[in-house]
């Protein structure tokens, strides 16, 4: 397994992270909202950012890491400007989502878990996004695309390439 590279957190970034933590300090159940806001600001939650949160929210690093790695909405790796998530949950999988994932990989030239060289797109496979009635489903930055066929993928990607 490849060793994660150390991430440098600038003083400005640290100040912003601390201001987010301060908003929630002393609030019961603060960890999840803090993680959401910090990820929205920083883009992802590398270990160095989790350590800042741990030190200042007084939550053990192991607990933070457990939450970050358990919930699919959190990521420890940088994502593209447009984060593609293809559902491989049971309903989607039996309706062909693996082929949809392959088509996204082919169209964008990266594998699941990767980011395009220009940083515009990342692709991930996920489990159940809660839209089983629309299977197979993909989400891009929270926008749901349902009842997909492989031919839909190119036009979906082109919509984001134009932005």
| Per-residue pLDDT tens over the stretch 31-61 | 999 999 999 999 899 999 999 999 999 999 9
Distance of CA 117 to the CA centre of its chain: 17
pLDDT of residue 1: 39
Return the pLDDT at 36. 95
d(CA 36, CA 115): 21
DSSP letter assigned to residue 132 = G
Phi first, then psi: what are they for 13, rounded to 5°?
-65, -40
pLDDT score recorded for residue 129 = 85
Looking up residue 154, the CATH number of its domain turns out to be 3.40.30.10
Looking at the fold, whether 58 and 92 belong to one and the same domain comes out as no
- Please indicate, yes or no, whether residues 94 and 43 belong to a single structural domain of this protein: no
- Domain end position, chosen among 31, 49, 70: 70
Domain with 58 in it: 11-70
CB neighbourhood size of 20 (10 A): 21
Same domain, 154 and 86: yes
Same domain, 37 and 95: no
Whether the predicted model's global pTM rises above the 0.85 cut: no
**88 and 148 together in one domain:** yes
CA distance 163 to 150: 22
Residue 4 within any structural domain of the chain: no
Which residues of the chain have a pLDDT value below 50? 1-3
**Whether residue 136 has a cis bond before it, omega within 30° of 0:** yes
Please name the residues in contact with 145: beta carbons below 8 A apart, sequence gap of 6 or more.
Answer: 137, 138, 139, 152, 156
User: What stretch of H or E contains 81?
Assistant: none
37 and 97: one domain? no
105 and 48 co-located in one domain: no
First CA to last CA across the chain, in angstroms? 35
| Total structural domains within the chain | 2
What is residue 2's predicted lDDT score, i.e. its pLDDT? 45
Same domain for 109 and 64: no
Can you say whether the dihedral through the CA atoms of 106, 109, 115, 120 is positive or negative?
negative
- 3-state secondary structure (DSSP) of residue 4: coil
């Amino acid at each position: 397994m490849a060793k994660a590279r150390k991430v440098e957190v600038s003083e400005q970034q640290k100040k912003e992270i601390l201001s987010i933590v301060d908003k929630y300090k002393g609030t019961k159940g603060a960890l999840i909202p803090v993680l959401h806001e910090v990820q929205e600001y920083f883009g992802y939650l590398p270990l160095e950012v989790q350590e800042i949160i741990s030190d200042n929210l007084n939550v053990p690093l192991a607990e933070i890491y457990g939450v970050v790695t358990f919930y699919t909405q959190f990521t420890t790796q940088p994502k593209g400007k447009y984060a593609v998530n293809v559902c491989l949950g049971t309903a989607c999988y039996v309706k062909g989502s693996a082929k949809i994932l392959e088509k996204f990989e082919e169209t964008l030239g990266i594998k699941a878990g990767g980011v395009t060289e220009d940083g515009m797109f990342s692709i991930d496979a996920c489990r159940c996004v809660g839209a089983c009635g629309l299977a197979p489903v993909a989400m891009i930055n929270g926008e749901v695309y349902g009842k997909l066929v492989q031919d839909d993928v190119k036009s979906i990607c082109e919509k984001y390439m134009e932005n």
